Amino acid sequence: MTRLSVNINKIATLRNSRGGNVPDVEKTALDCVRFGAEGITVHPRPDERHIRYSDVYALKPLLDVEFNIEGNPIEKFVSLVCEVHPAQVTLVPDAHDAITSNAGWNTVTHAAFLKEICRIFRSEGIRTSIFVDPVVRMVQGAAEAGSDRIELYTQAYAEHYPVNREEAIAPYYDACREAVRCGLEVNAGHDLNLDNLAYLKHTLPRLDEVSIGHALICDALYMGLENTIAAYLKALK
């Protein structure tokens, strides 16, 4: 079964655009869980333009589902994760000024760095996932670094899905198969939505978790949060 982790960054973006505490990030996270989400994902960035570091500390004791913290493992981020102690940390190589994540790690070029970061989190008992493009060698590098999982960066899949879904998913199938061979679990995320999610789920040889935020929150504007989460769970089953 593939678990749905809801990324609530967009809720924080909306809150921050006006000031105050509407919408309430903590309440939204709890509502997502109440409506069936099996995990909550946050991606705090150094400028705190959406999820703030204080949000991460506040959310941890409230959640009884998997808490996944994404981010570039700069020193401040590593300290945050070790203090909060989530179930999972996802390493993403985004620049400080990136609008959103736009590439996976080059796990060969950054092999020594990633190995050390994985060692730190593993010593804390935190599952580590490395965000990678659907490239077999990058998957192998994640395994060599000591990661527990990979998260496949699915932007290219989502972009090409309407044109030719078989071609769009082919490199992801190969990368996923290599991950299984290497003993890695497999997550996926970025631009997944109700149009392309089911095909990804039912085609890949393994898919443990998807992290979805932007599309899910956009759908919730029309369908409501409860109905939207139900629709995404249905797509995964």
User: What local confidence, expressed as pLDDT, does residue 101 receive?
Assistant: 61
Statement: residue 109 has pLDDT above 80 = yes
Does residue 66 carry a catalytic annotation? Answer: no
Residue 31 has pLDDT above 90, yes or no: yes
The region of weakest confidence among 81-95, 96-110, 124-138 is 96-110
Which is catalytic among the residues 50, 151, 178, 190? 190
Q: Which of the four pLDDT bands, split at 50, 70 and 90, describes residue 94?
A: confident
pLDDT in tens, 37-64: 999 999 999 999 999 999 999 999 999 9
Q: Which position has the higher pLDDT, 146 or 102?
A: 146
pLDDT of amino acid 95: 66
Taking residues 173-177, report their average pLDDT.
Answer: 98
pLDDT of residue 100: 58
Separation between Cα atoms, residue 23 and residue 80, nearest integer Å: 24
Mean pLDDT of 109-119: 98
Residues facing residue 132 across a β-bridge = 152
Q: Assign 97 a pLDDT band (cuts: 50, 70, 90).
A: low
d(CA 99, CA 94): 9
Three-state DSSP at 43 gives coil
**What size, in residues, is the chain?**
237
CATH number of the domain that 19 lies in?
A: 3.20.20.70
Q: Which domain holds residue 29?
A: 3-235
Q: Based on the structure, what is the number of domains in the chain?
A: 1
- What is the pLDDT, as a whole number, of residue 103? 82
Q: What average pLDDT does the segment 155-163 reach?
A: 98
What are the angstrom distances between the C-alpha of 172 and each of 157, 169, 197? 8, 5, 13
Helices (H), the chain: 9-18, 25-34, 53-59, 75-84, 111-123, 136-145, 155-160, 165-182, 197-203, 214-223, 225-235
Question: Residue 171 CA to chain centroid, in angstroms?
Answer: 19
Catalytic one of 43, 50, 151, 178: 43
Count the Cβ atoms, other than its own, within 10 Å of residue 104: 25
Which among 70, 151, 178, 209 is annotated as catalytic? Answer: 70
99 has a pLDDT exceeding 90: no
* Average pLDDT in the chain: 96
Residue 96's pLDDT is: 59
Q: What's the token pair of residue 185?
A: 């679990």
Rounded to whole angstroms, how far apart are CA atoms 12 and 37?
18
62 φ/ψ angles, rounded to the nearest 5 degrees: -85, -20
